[in-house]
């Protein structure tokens, strides 16, 4: 059972429901749609070579659930979108792209369709979506909430598309203009076959699924996986420290240890800023999961180090961390062999190398602190866990480096190929 998408279909300019026989040439201008078309061609070739297999391809609409709120924000709206305000205020007027027309399915309903297809050994394509249509008015009604009427403010696509393109190229908006093309031109799907042959029926409307998503985006919720992780780092994920402050024994040179830990904090500050920027810059590459997971781990560990320093009664002098912060940003101004603001393929190679070096240094720092764990009042296993995590982070960054170095200096390979 393979995950395809409504994006595989050729454009349709009206709201007439189409079944699975509608042409599958994709939406021009959408890299996601083109990828799904290519994926289905691979399935076709597989079935020609292995006709005895039962292969079902599910073509869902937009998949929504509350736990996907942070993921959807990261991939489409970006960190600058003030979605948190939706917890306090639902706008009575909602700007929506003109001509938007799409369908959604709740993740639980889609999971049920996958299960049925697998259990029944289903063959062929199945449209999977809720029965209602999400046009501009329906979207505005959901986003505005129950207390307001919800008025849609259509934005002309001819003007919106170049704005989206420019914002994406400037790395302000994660979503590119291809997503607008998809939302305006994919056909309305007929889900009759899934109901009849899989015995499937949606338990949620598209509007209900969208409402869950809006709530999830506002709250920043997620789930324990890299794509679905929550928006904000939870302090509870940090290693545990004693509940009370700890004083060093007389055998320790407090001044030297404080300086050593402060130097590592400066490095952690620069590393956190760099890896967060890398995650934002390379969200459209296949190595984004590795970069983003390392970014979150390093952010958590920096918070742990700050707390550890404070528990020892040390101050955290701002000078070194400020210098590290400035140095990291000045380093972004170096020539990259491309136009200003553009991404050079070699930049990802260099940045991966810098972060591998930084993580290696951090690993040795945790080793030093492990040797003095008793004096610091911390269980040595806490530091051993941090050492193990650093090893895992280094392996992830090696994967990033391997991907980048095999493409960066080649004319026949695209370093920044799209994956969404």
Question: Model's pTM, two decimal places?
Answer: 0.72
Q: Are residues 62 and 151 in the same domain?
A: yes
Over pLDDT 70: what percentage of the chain?
87
Q: How many domains does the chain have?
A: 2
390-397 average pLDDT score: 96
Q: Are residues 170 and 243 in the same domain?
A: no
pLDDT band at 336 (very low <50, low <70, confident <90, very high): very low
SS3 106: strand
64 burial level (CB within 10 Å; 0-12, 13-18, 19+): buried
Q: Are residues 199 and 278 in the same domain?
A: no
Which residues constitute the domain of residue 164?
Answer: 2-219
The pLDDT, as a whole number, for residue 124 is 97
Mean pLDDT of the chain, nearest integer: 87
171-179 average pLDDT score: 89
pLDDT in tens, 359-383: 999 999 999 999 998 888 889 999 9
- With a CB cutoff of 8 Å and minimum separation 6, the contacts of 296 are 229, 233
Q: Are residues 157 and 52 in the same domain?
A: yes
The CATH number assigned to the domain holding 290 equals 1.20.1260.10
Strand-pair partners of 126: 58
pLDDT in tens, 194-218: 999 999 999 999 999 999 999 999 9
The answer to whether residues 284 and 178 touch, using CB atoms and an 8 Å cutoff, is: no
Q: Are residues 361 and 254 in the same domain?
A: yes
The answer to whether residues 130 and 205 touch, using CB atoms and an 8 Å cutoff, is: yes
Q: Are residues 310 and 389 in the same domain?
A: yes
Q: Are residues 185 and 266 in the same domain?
A: no
pLDDT at 328 over 70: no
pLDDT in tens, 263-296: 999 999 999 999 988 988 887 788 988 998 899 8
Q: Are residues 207 and 239 in the same domain?
A: no
- Out of 188, 219, 250, a domain closes at 219
């Amino acid at each position: 059972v393979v995950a395809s998408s409504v994006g595989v279909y050729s454009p349709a300019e009206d709201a007439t429901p189409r079944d699975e026989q509608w042409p599958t040439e994709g939406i021009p201008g959408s890299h996601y749609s083109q990828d799904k078309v290519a994926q289905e061609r691979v399935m076709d070739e597989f079935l020609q070579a292995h006709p005895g297999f039962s292969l079902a391809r599910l073509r869902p609409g937009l998949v929504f659930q509350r736990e996907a709120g942070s993921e959807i924000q990261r991939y489409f709206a970006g960190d600058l979108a003030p979605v948190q305000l939706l917890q306090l205020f639902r706008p009575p007027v909602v700007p929506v792209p003109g001509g938007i027309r799409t369908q959604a399915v709740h993740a639980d309903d889609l999971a049920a369709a996958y299960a049925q297809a697998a259990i029944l050994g289903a063959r062929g394509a199945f449209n999977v979506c809720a029965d209602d249509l999400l046009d501009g008015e329906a979207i505005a009604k959901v986003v505005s909430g129950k207390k307001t009427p919800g008025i849609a403010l259509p934005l002309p696509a001819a003007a919106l598309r170049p704005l989206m393109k420019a914002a994406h190229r400037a790395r302000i908006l994660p979503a590119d203009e291809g997503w607008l093309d998809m939302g305006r031109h994919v056909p309305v799907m007929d889900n009759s076959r899934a109901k009849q042959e899989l015995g499937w029926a949606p338990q949620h409307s598209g509007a209900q699924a969208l409402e869950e998503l809006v709530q999830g985006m506002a709250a920043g919720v997620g789930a324990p996986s890299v794509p679905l992780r929550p928006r904000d780092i939870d302090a509870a994920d940090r290693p545990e420290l004693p509940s009370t402050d700890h004083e060093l024994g007389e055998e320790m040179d407090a001044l030297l240890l404080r300086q050593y830990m402060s130097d590592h904090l400066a490095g952690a500050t620069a590393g956190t800023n760099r890896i967060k920027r890398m995650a934002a810059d390379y969200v459209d590459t296949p190595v984004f999961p590795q970069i983003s997971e390392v970014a979150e781990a390093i952010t958590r560990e920096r918070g742990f180090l700050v707390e550890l320093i404070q528990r020892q009664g040390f101050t955290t002098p701002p000078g070194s961390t400020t210098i590290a912060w400035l140095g990291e940003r000045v380093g972004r101004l170096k020539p990259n062999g491309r136009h200003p603001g553009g991404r050079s393929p070699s930049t990802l190679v260099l940045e991966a190398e810098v972060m591998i070096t930084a993580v290696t240094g951090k690993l040795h720092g945790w080793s030093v602190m492990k040797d003095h764990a008793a004096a610091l009042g911390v269980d040595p296993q806490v530091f051993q866990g941090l050492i193990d995590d650093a090893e895992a982070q280094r392996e992830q960054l090696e994967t990033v480096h391997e991907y980048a170095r095999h493409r960066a200096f080649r004319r026949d390979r695209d370093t920044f190929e799209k994956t969404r």
